[in-house]
């Protein structure tokens, strides 16, 4: 039995695609081993969103080649699209497979071991050709509903590496949900590059979600990450359904309107805050998390102060902060007034601190409430861990709970360890 190991960098979409590949290799008779274990095949699912991601992807490729000198190294993911020629010239890499053909890696590896000489580009592309993820991997599973993006934000390389926006047919998505629910999954994360732009026949995301929550079974749906444009004024309504998790990772990127304009984002700070306020009027404890880019070209002290103010005001319980990173081929790379790394680091630290304060405030505001926790782990001493519907990490003591079941609990106390979590009781 050949051994295969995986390393994933970057976003949740990449993680989903790796999980689907793991399932496919397993079904094809390969032994899936930990990344640290020597393997006959190592699949590296790369990311190229920042310079640091490129560097991490390169380091991982070198490490994999060192660890398995006789094994196959298969490199896929966004870096495989963005730096294809450079990677193909690297003799440590056996195959470079672009995102469109990622789902065909098992066939490619099978052909290799049968002694066939096949170029990855000879397979046809299918961005939705992934297998339903096997239940042994995680307690929650992702389902890809969309790929690509047409927004062309000026800093972003994603439209060039993931291509134009495409939406998966709704019936395929519903069938995929039916199968993962039958496989025992209780939480389904809806994922894609820009899922707010889901558009299949007469279905936008809102209408498609209405169909998803109508499906039978004891499960809940979480949205992975969304852009704040393309929102209908009544989008909050779908989150009032008991199968929808009241949490959105809504990417603001900046709290300064001039910077948002330079980024070519399709909203203003005010319209963003209108969404947040509108949701919280209807669902007062709704959890918002976000992404912020600090140090975009020309970001002045005043622009940054606006971002810090908005991040505080929106009470995001978590902020994923990125230092702006120049990407060749993007418009922002050609802008003047590029900022020094030191300024970016200082600004990133300010946002990190606000994010931590917000997280504690949000956690404290949730004390005394009940949550439905999906248990991810139970220790030998009977301590269960998991996430409630609002996506807060929770721990509680239990005599008989097991992994992958829902448990209703009461949130009692914040434990301010790093990272913090909430202590709960049944
Ligand atoms: S919305 Fe903007 S940031 Fe997001 S993937 Fe599309 S171009 Fe990139």
Name residue 77's beta-bridge partners.
Answer: 46
Rounded distance between C-alpha atoms, residue 133 and residue 83, angstroms = 29
Counting the structural domains of the chain, the total is: 4
pLDDT value of residue 117: 80
pLDDT value of residue 208: 97
- The tokens for 161 are 């590496």
Pocket (CB within 6 angstroms of ligand 1): 149, 151-153, 156, 158-159, 193-194, 227
CATH number at residue 31: 3.40.50.12160
State whether 105 and 165 are in the same domain. no
State whether 252 and 322 are in the same domain. yes
| Secondary structure (DSSP) of 245-284 | -SEEEB--B-S-HHHHHHHT-S--HHHHHHHHHHHHHHST
- The tokens for 260 are 């948002």
State whether 163 and 215 are in the same domain. yes
State whether 302 and 389 are in the same domain. no
State whether 103 and 10 are in the same domain. yes
Residue 150 Cα: closest atom of ligand 1? 6
Domain end position, chosen among 245, 280, 298 = 245
**Is the pLDDT score of 395 beyond 80?**
yes
State whether 237 and 253 are in the same domain. no
Percent of the chain scored above 70 by pLDDT? 99
- The tokens for 146 are 């969309």
CATH number at residue 218: 3.30.750.210
Pocket mutation for ligand 1, best pick of 164, 193, 196 (most atoms within 8 Å of C-beta): 193
> Is the separation of the CB atoms in 219 and 178 below 8 Å?
no
- Cβ neighbours of residue 383 closer than 8 Å, sequence gap 6 or more: 395, 396, 397, 398
Segment 138-156 shows an average pLDDT of: 91
pLDDT value of residue 140: 83
State whether 72 and 115 are in the same domain. yes
Rounded distance between C-alpha atoms, residue 44 and residue 53, angstroms = 13
**Is the pLDDT score of 68 beyond 90?**
no
State whether 93 and 150 are in the same domain. no
Segment 398-426 shows an average pLDDT of: 93
State whether 342 and 408 are in the same domain. no
Look at residue 128 and tell me if it is in a domain.
no
Residue 178: domain span:
133-245
**Is the pLDDT score of 212 beyond 90?**
yes
Greater confidence (228 vs 229) lies with 228
State whether 9 and 116 are in the same domain. yes
CA distances from 23 to 42, 95, 250 (A): 15, 20, 30
Segment 166-187 shows an average pLDDT of: 94
Q: Encode pLDDT of 270-327 as tens digits.
A: 999 999 999 999 999 999 999 999 999 999 999 999 999 999 999 999 999 999 999 9
Residue 244: name the closest of 276, 205, 197 by CA.
205
135 pLDDT tier (thresholds 50, 70, 90): low
Nearest CA to ligand 1 atom 1: 151
Domain end position, chosen among 191, 217, 245 = 245
For residue 363, the CA-to-ligand 1 centroid distance in Å is 30
**Is the pLDDT score of 137 beyond 70?**
no
pLDDT value of residue 133: 75
Domain end position, chosen among 122, 144, 172 = 122
Look at residue 347 and tell me if it is in a domain.
yes
CATH number at residue 261: 3.30.750.200
- Average pLDDT of the chain to the nearest whole number: 94
């Amino acid at each position: 039995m050949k051994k295969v190991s995986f390393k994933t960098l970057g976003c949740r979409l990449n993680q989903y695609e790796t999980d689907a590949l793991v399932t496919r290799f397993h079904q094809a008779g390969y032994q899936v081993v930990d990344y640290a274990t020597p393997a006959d095949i190592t699949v590296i699912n790369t990311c190229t969103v920042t310079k640091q991601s490129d560097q991490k992807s390169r380091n991982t490729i070198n490490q994999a080649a060192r660890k398995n000198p006789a094994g196959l190294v298969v490199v896929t993911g966004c870096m495989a699209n963005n730096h294809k020629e450079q990677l193909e010239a690297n003799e440590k890499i056996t195959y470079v497979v672009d995102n469109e053909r990622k789902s065909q890696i098992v066939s490619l590896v099978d052909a290799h071991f049968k002694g066939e000489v096949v170029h990855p580009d000879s397979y046809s592309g299918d961005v939705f050709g992934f297998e339903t993820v096997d239940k042994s991997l995680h307690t929650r599973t992702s389902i890809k509903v969309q790929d690509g993006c047409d927004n062309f934000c000026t800093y972003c390389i994603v439209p060039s590496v993931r291509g134009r926006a495409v939406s998966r047919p709704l019936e395929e998505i519903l069938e995929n949900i039916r199968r993962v629910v039958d496989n025992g999954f209780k939480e389904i994360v809806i994922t894609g590059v820009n899922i707010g732009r889901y558009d299949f026949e007469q279905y936008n995301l809102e209408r498609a979600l209405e169909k998803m929550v109508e499906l039978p079974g004891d499960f809940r749906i979480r949205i992975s990450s969304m852009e704040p444009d393309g929102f209908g004024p009544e989008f909050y309504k779908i989150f009032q359904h008991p199968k929808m998790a009241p949490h959105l990772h809504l990417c603001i990127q900046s709290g300064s309107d001039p910077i948002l304009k330079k980024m070519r984002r399709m909203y203003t700070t005010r319209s963003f805050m209108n969404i947040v306020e509108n949701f919280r009027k209807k669902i007062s404890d709704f959890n918002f998390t976000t992404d912020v880019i600090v140090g975009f070209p020309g970001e002045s002290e005043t622009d940054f102060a606006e971002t810090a103010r908005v991040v505080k005001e929106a009470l995001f319980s978590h902020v994923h902060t990125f230092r702006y990173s120049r990407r060749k081929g993007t418009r922002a790379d050609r802008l003047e007034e590029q900022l020094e790394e030191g300024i970016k680091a200082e600004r990133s630290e300010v946002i990190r601190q606000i994010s931590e304060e917000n997280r504690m405030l949000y956690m404290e505001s949730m004390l005394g409430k009940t949550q439905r926790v999906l248990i991810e782990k139970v220790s030998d001493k009977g301590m269960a861990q998991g996430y409630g519907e609002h996506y807060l990490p929770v721990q509680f003591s239990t005599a008989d709970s097991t992994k992958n079941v829902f448990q209703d609990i009461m949130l009692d106390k914040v434990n301010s360890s790093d990272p913090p979590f909430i202590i709960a009781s049944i």
